[in-house]
Structures are given as structure tokens and as C-alpha cells.
């Protein structure tokens, strides 16, 4: 029996990281978690977050066929935070390649889930409400978990739209 296909969504942060596993059709959230790294040294925090992510991916790869890993593109709020996030994302991609995961994408969620006109806190609230209604999950989770789930949904939906447009393109060429 083949393993169920899933997508892993990662919402990276310099102190905490949202992690979610969704089925390949975005119908069910299989698992979610938050990986927290405390301390002043950014390099140590990145190391702790990386170890947490690698441990979770290894755990899920033994149970599921990981079809895609999506990592949210960062939104730089300040220069120092942007530098740390760029480093984390770079290290994460490098580690995923070492683990033989080649189907890794970066994606934005904010444009797809809520309007750009909302402030950051409003965006987080709207994303949370959207995910709670879509999956009927608890409303007391960390915002980074809701963001990771939303990232997974957006990535799957964009992939579906792309696949349909490619099929339509092929059909037009045949006509």
C-alpha cells in the first residue's frame, strides 16, 4: 500500500516557526506545531529551529509521501530580522537538499488569503478566521500555525490552477 501524499508548509521566523502538514488536496490538516527557539544569539536560534524542522520532516517522511515542501517568503519588518530570516531560509533549503527533498517552493500567503490593505495584525486575525472556518480547528493556536496552514492551502490551490492552465494549453494546441 502506498503512503498518502502530503504537503509540508513552513512559516519561518527568527524566534518561532509554524509547521503544518496537509493532505495533497488541502481538505484536511494532518498535523501542526510551533517550533520555538529562545535566546539572543541568532545563529543558535537558527540551529534550534533547523533541528526541530528536520526532526519533524523525518518523522512525517516515514509515515507519508511528502509531495512538496513550501516555505513562506519572508516579510522584512526590520533589517536585522530580514538578515536572520534570509539565513534561516537559506540553511533550511540547503538541509532539505541534503535530505533529498528537491520539490521545495517559496510562496506568499497574504495576497491570496486577505487584502493587502489590512495592517499586519488584521491580516493575522483574518488568516486565523479563514483557517478556523475552512478546517474547523481550535481558535487558540499561535498565529504562525495558522500562517503555515494558510501557506499550504495557497500553495496547493496555486498548483491546481497551474495544472489546469497547462492542460488547457495542451488542449488548445491539439485543436
**Residue 105: beta bridge partners?**
70
CA dist., res. 82 & res. 103, Å (int): 24
Share of the chain above pLDDT 70, in %: 78
Q: How far apart are CA 150 and CA 16, in angstroms?
A: 17
pTM exceeding 0.75: yes
117 close to 38: Cβ distance less than 8 angstroms: no
The DSSP 8-state label assigned to residue 13 in this structure reads: -
- 54 vs 26, residue with greater confidence: 54
Task: Please give the Cα distance from 93 to 71 (Å, whole number).
Answer: 9
Reported confidence tier of residue 126, pLDDT bands at 50, 70, 90? confident
Confidence of residue 58 (pLDDT cuts 50, 70, 90): very high
CA dist., res. 175 & res. 67, Å (int): 32
Q: pLDDT by residue (tens digit) across 62-108?
A: 999 998 999 987 766 666 667 778 888 888 888 888 988 888 887 76
Superfamily of domain 5-174: Ribonuclease H-like superfamily/Ribonuclease H (3.30.420.10)
Sheet of 104-107, strand order: 29-36, 16-23, 5-11, 65-72, 104-107
Amino acid at each position: 500500500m502506498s503512503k498518502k501524499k502530503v504537503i509540508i508548509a513552513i512559516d519561518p521566523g527568527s524566534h518561532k516557526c509554524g509547521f503544518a502538514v496537509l493532505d495533497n488536496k488541502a481538505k484536511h490538516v494532518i498535523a501542526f506545531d510551533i517550533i520555538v527557539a529562545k535566546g539572543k544569539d541568532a545563529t543558535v536560534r537558527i540551529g534550534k529551529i533547523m533541528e526541530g524542522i528536520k526532526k519533524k520532516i523525518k518523522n512525517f517522511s516515514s509515515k507519508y509521501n511528502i509531495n512538496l515542501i513550501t516555505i513562506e517568503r519572508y516579510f522584512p519588518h526590520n533589517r536585522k530580522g530580514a538578515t536572520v530570516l534570509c539565513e534561516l531560509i537559506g540553511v533550511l533549503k540547503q538541509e532539505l537538499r541534503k535530505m533529498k527533498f528537491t520539490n521545495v517552493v517559496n510562496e506568499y500567503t497574504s495576497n491570496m488569503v486577505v487584502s493587502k490593505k489590512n495592517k499586519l495584525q488584521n491580516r493575522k486575525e483574518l488568516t486565523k478566521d479563514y483557517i478556523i472556518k475552512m478546517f474547523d480547528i481550535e481558535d487558540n493556536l499561535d498565529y504562525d500555525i495558522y500562517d503555515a496552514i494558510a501557506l499550504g492551502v495557497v500553495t496547493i490551490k496555486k498548483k491546481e490552477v497551474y495544472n489546469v492552465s497547462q492542460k488547457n494549453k495542451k488542449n488548445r494546441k491539439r485543436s
